[in-house]
Structure 1
């Protein structure tokens, strides 16, 4: 499915993206001719059954993987053919990630986990400190900055992960099943936090299998067997 009317303010644009995994003589077509525009400030959900290709799509959007064919433009620039080092640079500056498994570093405190992306970018210490405190306060974790991940609940760990994702003010926030390891109360709290970030102007792409959470987005793409089979637009 192609985006029928390319948006002039698209932050993300995919054109006929395909992803093929090859193992010996077998080929698996994880994505087939995906074309998609995501506008700045949009909240998009990607939904579908396990194995449909939604996480593969998010990996390409996050520059963690490259398409076998097709084009990916991020903020107007072609990025699908960048080398590994350049992809890492763009990813670190322009994309924030929230994962199902939190992906916090166990021997770092909440503060240090959130600070780490800014350290990689050589942000000056005073600027880092201001940004980290602001991010932790934003997610309600300022009172637990010295706690290690093992000392935090699942919901608290995911809040730290959200703070880490937004600390550098990236234009694009990707969330891959962010409620998958949480109970319903903590899952709802994380989704409320994402909704607040969107209301403040964040561009969010959420992968979820839960229709309750997909319904919170302004638009949902349903994927099956690596193809967009249906789109829902909400007011």
Structure 2
């Protein structure tokens, strides 16, 4: 039996149902898993399988419809919006596909931003933390530049520094290479690998099997459920066969027409 007490993230029977125009969409159905301190976990699966919904719940940007979510020893499932924002700011570092940098703030100001919402951190400590975070990602020489003056790869490095600056318990990365060419994508993956080796806990959503391989442990989602690799391969083959059968069934009709 798993010792859930030592898990940094513990999810138990997490479901998410979206209600629109009286239609129920079951985005997640009974998700169970743990992420331990210092682990590097990837969450992968086909488009529409619930990866981003799950990451939004992990990042306290959304709430589950039912189930239990414990983050760093705190049950976060029923927190107020203000408490969720506080826990998110202290415990979670986000790395987004679209970088999400603010165009009229400098690199320094973008990285400093999460710290301005923290009580008890003075200006001198903020400055020291920002410079340390930018040094870790190799961008300390660009702290007075604006995002538009940087390449995509450099912007993502700045976004990683912003995620690190608050010394979070976990880094959540949502398709961190999605807007980058392969060379910059590989450089960002190498950076995440380096951060993991230095002790960071990382949970990354990716649709790219090459990048999923960087993780120590791979979680596969299919139709809102966690499946093992063998099951995922079987479901993918069945899906492909179903599509092929549908195409084959349409061909004679097209020929008759």
Q: TM class, shorter-chain normalised?
A: over 0.9
Residues 1:77 and 2:74 aligned together = yes
Post-superposition offset of 1:7: 4.1
CA displacement, residues 48-85 of structure 1 (integer Å, 9 cap, x when unaligned):
11110011000000000000000100011110111111
Contact 1:141 1:159 in 2 (8 A): yes
Contact 1:47 1:207 in 2 (8 A): yes
The whole-number CA distance in structure 1 between the counterparts of 2:86 and 2:229 is 32
Q: Distance in 2 between matches of 1:87 and 1:220?
A: 27
- Write the distance in 2 (CA, Å) between the matches of 1:22 and 1:6: 35
Q: Give the corresponding residue for 2:158.
A: 160
1:112: how far off?
0.3
- Equivalent in the alignment of 1:26: 23
SS at match of 1:70: strand
Counterpart in 2 of 1:44? 41
- How big is each residue's C-alpha offset from its partner over 1:133-157, in whole Å with a ceiling of 9 and x where there is no partner? 0000110101111111111100000
Q: Does 1:172 align with 2:170?
A: yes
Q: Pick from 195, 198, 201: which aligns with 2:196?
A: 198
Report if the CA contact (8 A) 1:6-1:37 is conserved. no
Identify the residue that residue 61 of structure 1 maps to in structure 2: 58
Structure 1 unmatched runs, 5+: none
TM-score relative to the length of structure 1: 0.95
**Partner SS state of residue 197, structure 1:** helix
Structure 2 Cα separation of the partners of residues 186 and 63 of structure 1: 29
2:180 is the counterpart of 1:189: no
Runs of 4+ in structure 1 displaced over 2 angstroms? 4-8
Give 1:12's match in structure 2, choosing from 6, 9, 12: 9
Aligned-residue CA RMSD (Å)? 1.1
Q: 2:186 & 2:3 partners in 1: Cα distance? A: 33
Deviation at 1:127, TM superposition (A): 0.3
Task: Decide which of 51, 69, 93 is 1:96's aligned counterpart.
Answer: 93
CA offsets 1:81-121 (integer angstroms, 9 cap, x no match): 11111100000011000000000001000000000111111
Structure showing greater radius of gyration is 2
Alpha-carbon distance in structure 2 between the residues aligned to 1:133 and 1:95: 19
Which secondary structure does the structure 1 equivalent of 2:8 belong to? strand
Other structure's SS at 2:53 match = helix
Partner SS for 1:213: helix
SS in 2 for 1:180: coil
SS in 2 for 1:118: helix
Question: How much has 1:8 moved relative to structure 2?
Answer: 3.8
Bigger share in helix: 2
Given the two structures, how large is their TM-score scaled by the length of structure 2? 0.87
